Structure 1
Amino acid sequence: MDGFSNLQLADVADAGGYDADLAQLADLSALRRMVREQRAVFENAPVGIAVTQPDRIRSFNPRAGEMFGFAQDEVGSIAPAEVCASPEDYEALIREAFAVLAGGGLFEKSEQQFRRRDGSSFWARLRGCAVEPGNRDAGTIWIVEDVTEARQAMSEVQAIMTNASIGIMFTRNRVIRRANPAFCQMFGYAEDEPLGVSTRVIYPDETAYRQLGAEAYPQLADGRPFTTSRTLVRKDGTPAWVQMIGYQVNAKDPDKGTIWMLEDRTRERSDEQSLREALMENRAILDNAVLGIAVVEGGRTLHCNRKMEELFGAPPGGMDGIAVRSLYPGHASWKEARELSGRQFASGQAHMAEHEMVRRDGSRFWARLSGRLFDLAQASGRSVWLVDDVTAQREAADAILRARDELEVRVAERTAELAGANALLQEEINERRQAEARVHHMAYHDSLTGLPNRAMLSERLDAAMRVVASGDAPQQGQQLALMFIDLDRFKNINDTLGHMVGDQLLRNVALRLVTAVRPSDLVARLGGDEFVVLMPGIAGKGDAAAVADRIIDALSLACQIDGHSLHISPSIGICLYPDDGVDVETLMRHADAAMYQAKAAGRNNYQFFTERMNLAAARHFELESSLRGALAREEFALYFQPIMCTETRRPRALEVLLRWRRDGALVGPDEFIPILEESGMIMEVGEWVIRSACVQAMQWQREGLEVVPLAINLSARQFTHQGLVDSIRAIVDETGIAPGLVEFEITETALMQHGGQTLEILRQINAIGMCLSIDDFGTGYSSLAYLKRFPVRKIKIDRAFVRELEASTEDRAIVAAVMALANSLQLSVVAEGVETEGQYALLRSFGCQYAQGYLFARPLPAEQVASLLAG
């Protein structure tokens, strides 16, 4: 701000915002009266007014002195920079203000921080105009309005909206103007990301978007709330069942926008229950309007600024001399306001209250009135009034309250409905919950041993690392250990004695591991004969070594299974956090590398990770390098396992299996196929498999053998390849095979990974005439709705459900349910992993059409299949 010289009364009139046309004053007495009025406005205005020059504050009214803590006798001794929060703030304000004032404009700033004489600070709305534009020495008039409390109130309102537990969005013309964190979280957006975006983004399609608009906005325009429940979509495309309540901020003025309250009811809808969450409390935030100012005496206005005239819809000068009573909608409201202000003025207080006012055209609005007497000794004398339109804020607050009340009523109604549900419905819900709990348990636990699986291990490991990293771990437990355990000689036992013995051995190992570790440790199974132990809260290697010794002792004892005395030993790799890695992937890789070092060191021991021992990575690299030339070296071969008709026990199809013979030895498919997928080589090798299988089928046909369909596995990675369908068509044309002799199998997990893309590819393959089936059905946690969408003709029950079919009533119930589902959808069913006559008999009793497993035949090379087809 600038300094000032003696304040001219005419300048004060401009500072108060009043237009006084001196040329029209009739005589000197009228001029003197106008000057006195302007001086009275300056002295009694409820806002601070000051006149400055570059180096000093020339004058200020009592309100400004009260704001800044200066006495009137200090005028002229105060530099403008003293009242700013800092010299930098002062310099920035001067540059910003005089860029406007120099051109004769009116400078306005909604918030500026100032400093009082006692050092405390406050926030104010600031307006200024130059006495003579372009001449800073002539002075600048400033109007300062303390907005500290209003600013605090705005912060509190923002906090309420931020912390609301339900989604709230404010729209105008169906464009999102404001959205609280709960809304962003509900739909998967970052903070402020949806602002300025059409609400079309949360609807599944254009039809749904238009339909809601057609239903909601006519009702909202009538002033009635609109309530509905719809399927909306999150940013990632997933659906959400959302209860919506909309309110027009002002039914008479739709352009003021709409408030929407949204609650995610997806879980309640699927479980047929309500979450009973009902706390919607917020209000729309509108900018503070520029204040209207009026001088009142004897119940009539003497002078009003232009903003006052705009508020009441009057032309310039049209507010001067009118009765204040005419600004109120009725005598009672005017009388109430007059009596309240009279009592406050009589006690020496300023008046501040909200009243309903009426414009010239008869429309009403709510205003916040602030009034102060010119002379406190004359309670009925002249006064100055500030008027601010607060209609929007009140309407928004009322709308939120109505929305909250409406939602509470809706929740109460829904609660009453649920309370009156009959016992049968409750039983069905309980059964569904139990089924979902079982499925959820399967998602986080190994189906064979009941131990946590890789998913749970990753979550627990990540959480344990965060505890250590945050410093919340006990002083004696500032590290954690991760153990990889591989069972030596397990593969030989499994291959020699069969999967049933191998599975029982794995269950026995799991029990021994849980017994050997500490109560706070987590034992998980990754698959096959690989186990992992997570040890949080250890002091160092000694703690981990002690547990590893107990594990070795526990697993070294012979296991008695089906009359066999089985001996195994563990190879254990150990790494520590944070010494050996700071993320889940690195720790898992390093523990695996240490485990391979333990195997290389003679097995039945444990090794701690060192940077030199990453043998697992070397093995992976070695296999990947060798795989890149395997196709050219003709190291791949096809094996075939028959799929038998359960009625005739004759082959009805052959599953095509890829084998790799490297350096004269077969490499397990579980070892090299993941590398093919990770490296992308699965595209080329997969095409070779399809072509070679078709060529072999045509060879059998030329030899006069009965050719049955070939079931070829397609990996999830192949479905990301744009040329898959074209490649299949080319192979059919090239080999001349009938499309009906080719079936493609895709796992349930792969089916769910790329739903939309997979659906289109499967439809194209189906259109060629090839059969499609879902492999490992029941392990992918898919929605039955998806099953109906895909053009599949066959499902394969995973061996996990067949393995315990004779002993487990739960597995029998699952298989029976799958059969019922397949029959209702007219799908064929193949049971995998059939190894006993008992399993075979049960499957036949369930109506299963096809079976596959060691009971009938192991995977065979092509030359042995020919004799099977001929017989």
Structure 2
Amino acid sequence: MNARDAALPPLAGNESPFGRLPHIDAARVLAVLVDNLDGMVFRCGIDPGWTMFFVSEGCRRLTGYAPEELIGSAHVCWEELTDPLDRNRVRSEIMAALAAGTRYRCEYRIHCRDGNTRWVVERGRGVVDEWGRQVLEGFIEDVTEQVETLRRLAEAEARYRGLFENAIVGVFQTTADGRYLSANGTLARMYGYPSAAELIADLQDIGRRLYVDPARRREFERVMRERGHVSEFESEIHRRDGSTLWICENAQVVYGPDGALLYYQGTVEDISERKRYRERLEYQASHDLLTGLPNRHLLAECLQRAMARAERDGGCVALAFVDLDNFKVINDSLGHATGDRLLVTVAARLRASLRGVDTVARHGGDEFALVLYHPGPRAALDGVLERILAEVAQPVRLDGHELQVSCSIGVALAPADGKDLDTLLQNADAAMYAAKSAGRSAFAFYTPQLNSAAVERLHLEAALRRALERGEIEVHFQPKVDRDGRPVSVEALARWDSAELGAIPPAKFIPIAEDTGLIEPLTEHVLRTACREAAGWAGAGLPPIGVAVNLSPRLLRGAALVERVAAALAASGLPAHRLELEITEGSLMGTGAETLERLNALKALGVRLAVDDFGTGYSSLSYLRRLPLDVLKVDQSFVTGAVRGSDQAILARAIISIGRELGLTVVAEGVESKAQWRLLHEAGCHEFQGYLFSRPLSAGDFAGWLRERTGTGAGGRRSVTRSTVLPKKW
């Protein structure tokens, strides 16, 4: 005892160096400990119901029943809680342990108060209680989560076992210096030997002769020295015939009683198919399956590499968004198989237009994305883009059709226009729409002002949907006259005067309707309105004239087209021969059997069919004889420049001549001057349409125009003071 200890007063019997110890209620401590266990402590009788004499508070958390409900089987007995499928097994295991005088452990299911089933583990043994009865004392805990985990693991193993159950597994023993001590026949066959003996005799230097890359054997030996085992060790090896395969090794070091290394032993699995499958998955995850180009996922990686290079070496990186201008018409007209072959052709042309450091990826549909790295100034990119435009625009011959495909390109520069793929794509997309608006087959660089145009387009799309729902779309009518200037029919045209945005020109909202699918309800609205108004004019005593409606390609492909037209005619009472459906030339290219069947069904209704915008497509003229057409409309691009001696005038005359020879009614649209009218009149054109005769008119205004031109009074009587032909001054 040191001096400091000697100075301390002696401790009393119930004191510690930290002060007087409180009195401990051992029974209370034990009760608290038992009740707080994560499970149920119990004592029960060895009877048919396992009558409970004591259960801890943990039974409430485990079963949902209070202790007093289980004790004495006051509410429910434990046998009833035990799943019927498990009762006999559990009782047998417990009774066997009692007979042997040993502890028991059994796992089974119980049904809880809330109706749920839980897995429990019961551990216990038989004891003699205070009254000399043999009872069971033990502990029951919830192991549902562990059982479910094991079940899920078993299910997962079962799901994937089928992928590998045909795998070839070999077993081996080798010395540390690379000689086989033993091998099974599976390993021998895997390596191309007829027997294990021949494998052992021939392969005396594993490191030099077996591994394609000898460094893999050295790595195998290093891991074995450091860890004593290898797991999932993959290598490419030579077979006896010189071919190769991929193997996966799991092996361990075997030591003797004295700790000396005896040999390596393990298993070998042929994972060649798995390796190829993994490579295919990796390829599919990063490439477009149709064109073989990188997809959006790989595009992001390529963009980051190009940006890193530009930051390191200088230069600029551009993301170009490429959209084919008239692909939708070709795909819809010639079919998806032809459309797919066209996409493959365009993909090859884009690849050929770029250098090895650049990337071309398929973004989706008819859209491609290019990552262009250029070591020089931005202006040098113009030449690359012009080369791409020219290469894509080369004619393509597929299925007997010579197709002319152009593209529009939007370009965003990194990092000025964005530092990530999404931002650059968004800005390049806005620039691409600017290129399309500029006339297509062009490229445009992104500017901040283009974002507002993209937002405007989204607003316009939403407004168009609301306009169709509210009935804001009006139908106007532009007259067509014959060679003597007499009105013969009208063309129904959609007009939109938005309450929010004012008058929206068709050139602005029709492309949006085409892109979004709104063209279908829009076309049906125009069809029904046109039929109703045309029937109404005749009912009001005006001369019966025909009405032409532009038929969207989407409606033309629809299975219910004939039924829709028949319904519109029936609802309006308009005779079928006074309805003319105009179909663009591009929509008729490569008309399939189903479309031809629909056209014939329309003809059977009595409807007239017209080919619109003739001369702008790229298809064979053979369809003019093959299809049941009545009318050929010369595109206004030929009419606008039709002055004597011009190329347009020559082409217009040729088109009119073709139409007349085929017995078709030829209509010139876009006639704006007397000179154009005279030239087309002399060429033999049958009918004319354009501002020279009238702008598009509302239904009411057209009725007035028709009365004036035909001399028909309000009562339906023809006036003798009005001329029914064009004035001589025209």
TM-score tier by shorter-chain length is 0.3 to 0.5
TM-score (norm 1): 0.38
Structure label with greater radius of gyration: 2
TM-score (norm 2): 0.44
